[in-house]
Structure 1
């Protein structure tokens, strides 16, 4: 039985380069973690550098590199693929090219997938966070422009002193609690802490508006429902100090936000003596 390969092509290439620069084979092999005999075979060109032990892969090295680039590009665009989508794509490629393979119904299985992921350490599997289309369309320029507009407004109305009082500086943000389950694990760049996946239907969620100031004090939140009329059982389940809103889509709209500021937020500010 052949020994298990526990080194990468990158390690081999670095070890070969070190030997070419004058380092001894045994020393380079130990430093880069590759077998001495293997390194000797590469140096003497008994085997090529790109040649690996074990059975050959079904896809060529170039094809796998294209697959890796494709997966990373999709993940960057917030439409990452699941394992099954990748396997379906490889199956289609095999069928279209009438390529011989050991797979059942021409579709790779778990073993091929794990080997593919091991050959491409830049890839990993993660559970993504849902990201609505509206949030996905926000650019850095949009955010910077917003801050400039707010700063200009405060200057024009002599209100920049508000920024020095954390109790008067509030931020309100909507959080969508999606009613549909999160997607399966997807393939993305290794080390990516927050992979996102665009969700299909933005209406399949419950919206909650959270408002707090820079001093860490939270105002009463508001839950937004998509009901035409809020059922009494639902209204009774909401804490008394919380607000209830409604909109056709279940998302925040200008009229719902106006009602919140007028009937909930402003009275709360007066009760708490916040200027």
Structure 2
């Protein structure tokens, strides 16, 4: 059996090509479904629409979650201390959902922000950039909200003639809202659903999320300095400028 000395020698001989890396967690379902036949079939379906040479007619939409309470990080403490705390604006934060869409040319439609609640709150909407603000009991998107977002997409899309291709994941409000699907068909919006368990590789907006996550970190630093509940409009004012800039 190869031991530690063998590994050190092997690594030394291949130090120009090998390195120690921390792997990302990948579920067994994603590992199984991300294979060449499934990916080839997906791109063959894309070629059928014959609009790949028109980037302004290809949109991708995806959701992300935003929290008002920052995550805690490592701090310096005394050895033997039993308790170590960090003051935040709350122990648990409510999650807001943001549904955004960007086309391959960099044009984005006004995003939809979904807050948890039943009644509109003017404080949540104050200082927001061009955005559709909605409310749901869970803070997540549902069929009715997805239909309203589809109307928003048709109104603000860059392409004014011909068909528009919209790429979505298989989340149930996207694929089981008959009213939204019918409205899309009436307005020349063709919807293509990503193959199951492949969005981590095939979802274009997953790349933009890295920019949004950096903005979340900046916002969390601001919240860490307030030691109180910060109005949501402050949080949104920090997040959306970077979201708008990411389209380029």
TM over 0.5: no
TM-score tier (shorter): 0.3 to 0.5
Scaled by the length of structure 1, the TM-score of the pair is 0.37
Scaled by the length of structure 2, the TM-score of the pair is 0.41
> Could you say which structure has the greater relative contact order, defined with CA pairs below 8 angstroms and 6 or more residues apart?
2
